[in-house]
C-alpha cells in the first residue's frame, strides 16, 4: 500500500483563455486543468489532480489563477515552475511555485479574490483586443459608473447577480472593493472594472459589468444598482457581459499556508 503524498504545492498561473473550453476537464476539449495535469504527469510520472481557485469559463482569462495539488516528487518549486513552462503550451504560463502546508487547497483556503473586466469603448474597435475586452460601441459615462459601483460595496445578498440555475447555500457575499478605472492599450482607451470579494456567485462579475454598462450608457441612473440588489432576482439587472473581457486577477490566502 502506497502512502498518500504529503507534499502540497501552490502555483500562480496566467493563461489566455481564448483557445480553451475553460478551466475544468471535459472529454475531448482543450481545458486549462487538462493541460496542467497532462504536463504534471509528463514531468513527475504521477497522476496528479489539480484544484483551481475558480473554474473559469470558456474564453475567460487569468492573470493570477491559483492552483493547488499534492505530489510525491521532491523536485524544488523553481524546478517545477521551469519544467512546467518548458512543457506547457505558450498560452499557459506558471508565474511562481511554492511549497504549501499539506492541507492547502486553492478553493477552501482562499480568503478573497479579485477579478478584472476590460471594456473597450468608443466608435472604433481595437483589433488587438477583440478576444481580450468587450467592445461597447458607445462612450461610457465614467463618473456615473463609479457612483453606481459604490452600491455594491459591503455585505449584500447578490442573488440578482447570479445566473439562474446555480445552487449555493447562500447568495450573501462581502464585496470589499469595486473600482472603475481608465486604462490604455495600443492607443485605444479602455475601462477596467475590478471587483474584490470574499467569494463570487456564478457569473457575478459579468452581471455586475453588464449592469454598470447600462448605467454608463445612460439607460439607468447610478441608484438603479441599489434597486437591482434589493430585487434579489436575476431579471432585475443588466445583461451578462461576454466571457472574453474577464480576468481572474488575484487570489489571497493566509500567510500560514506557505512553507517557504
Q: Which residues have a catalytic role annotated?
A: 57
For the window 231-250, what string marks contact with a copy of itself as x by the rule CB under 8 A?
A: ----------------x-x-
Cell 430585487 sits at which residue? 231
Torsion, CA 100, CA 105, CA 107, CA 109, rounded to 10 = -60
d(CA 89, CA 93) in angstroms, rounded, equals 8
260 binds a copy of itself (CB under 8 A): no
Q: How many CA atoms lie within 13 A of 121 on its CB side?
A: 18
- Choices 29-37, 85-93, 146-154, 196-204 (CB under 8 A): range interacting with a copy of itself: 85-93
Q: Given candidates 117, 132, 161, 200, which one binds a copy of itself under the rule CB under 8 A?
A: 132
Sign of CA dihedral 54, 50, 88, 9: positive
Burial letters 196-212, b for 16+ CB under 10 A, else e: bbebbbbbbbbbbbbbb
Closer by beta carbon to a copy of itself, 1 or else 127: 127
d(CA 4, CA 71) in angstroms, rounded, equals 9
d(CA 97, CA 208) in angstroms, rounded, equals 32
- Choices 31-39, 105-113, 124-132, 150-158 (CB under 8 A): range interacting with a copy of itself: 124-132
115 annotated to a ligand binding site: yes
β-partners of residue 29 are none
87 binds a copy of itself (CB under 8 A): no
d(CA 64, CA 190) in angstroms, rounded, equals 21
Closer by beta carbon to a copy of itself, 38 or else 185: 185
- Choices 30-38, 182-190, 204-212, 221-229 (CB under 8 A): range interacting with a copy of itself: 182-190
For the window 34-73, what string marks contact with a copy of itself as x by the rule CB under 8 A?
A: ---------------------------x-xx---------
d(CA 109, CA 50) in angstroms, rounded, equals 15
d(CA 216, CA 241) in angstroms, rounded, equals 14
Closer by beta carbon to a copy of itself, 132 or else 158: 132
- Choices 13-21, 35-43, 157-165, 221-229 (CB under 8 A): range interacting with a copy of itself: 13-21
For the window 92-121, what string marks contact with a copy of itself as x by the rule CB under 8 A?
A: xx-x--------------------------
Binding residues: 115
- Contact residues for a copy of itself, defined by CB under 8 A: 14-16, 61, 63-64, 85, 90-93, 95, 124-128, 130, 132, 185-187, 247, 249
Residues belonging to the binding site for substrate are: 115
Amino acid at each position: 500500500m502506497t502512502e498518500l503524498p504529503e507534499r502540497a504545492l501552490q502555483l500562480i498561473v496566467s493563461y489566455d483563455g481564448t483557445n480553451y473550453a475553460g478551466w475544468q476537464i471535459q472529454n475531448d476539449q482543450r481545458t486549462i486543468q487538462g493541460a496542467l495535469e497532462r504536463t504534471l504527469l509528463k514531468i513527475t510520472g504521477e497522476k496528479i489532480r489539480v484544484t483551481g481557485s475558480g473554474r473559469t469559463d470558456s474564453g475567460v482569462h487569468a492573470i493570477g489563477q491559483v492552483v493547488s495539488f499534492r505530489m510525491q516528487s521532491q523536485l524544488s518549486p523553481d524546478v517545477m515552475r521551469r519544467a512546467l513552462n518548458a512543457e506547457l503550451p505558450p498560452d499557459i504560463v506558471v508565474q511562481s511555485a511554492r511549497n504549501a502546508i499539506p492541507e492547502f487547497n486553492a478553493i477552501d483556503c482562499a480568503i478573497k479574490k479579485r477579478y478584472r473586466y476590460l471594456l473597450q469603448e468608443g466608435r472604433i474597435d481595437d483589433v488587438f483586443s477583440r478576444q481580450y475586452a468587450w467592445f461597447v460601441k458607445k462612450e461610457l459615462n465614467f463618473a456615473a459608473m463609479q457612483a453606481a459601483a459604490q452600491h455594491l460595496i459591503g455585505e449584500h445578498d447578490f442573488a440578482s447577480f447570479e445566473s439562474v440555475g446555480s445552487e449555493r447555500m447562500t447568495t450573501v457575499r462581502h464585496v470589499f472593493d469595486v473600482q472603475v478605472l481608465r486604462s490604455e492599450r495600443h492607443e485605444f482607451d479602455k475601462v477596467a472594472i475590478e471587483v474584490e470579494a470574499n467569494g463570487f456567485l456564478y457569473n457575478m462579475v459579468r452581471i455586475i459589468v453588464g449592469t454598470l454598462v447600462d448605467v454608463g450608457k445612460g439607460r439607468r441612473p447610478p441608484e438603479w444598482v441599489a434597486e437591482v440588489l434589493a430585487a434579489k432576482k436575476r431579471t432585475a439587472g443588466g445583461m451578462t457581459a461576454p466571457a472574453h473581457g474577464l480576468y481572474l486577477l488575484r487570489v489571497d490566502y493566509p500567510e500560514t499556508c506557505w512553507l517557504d
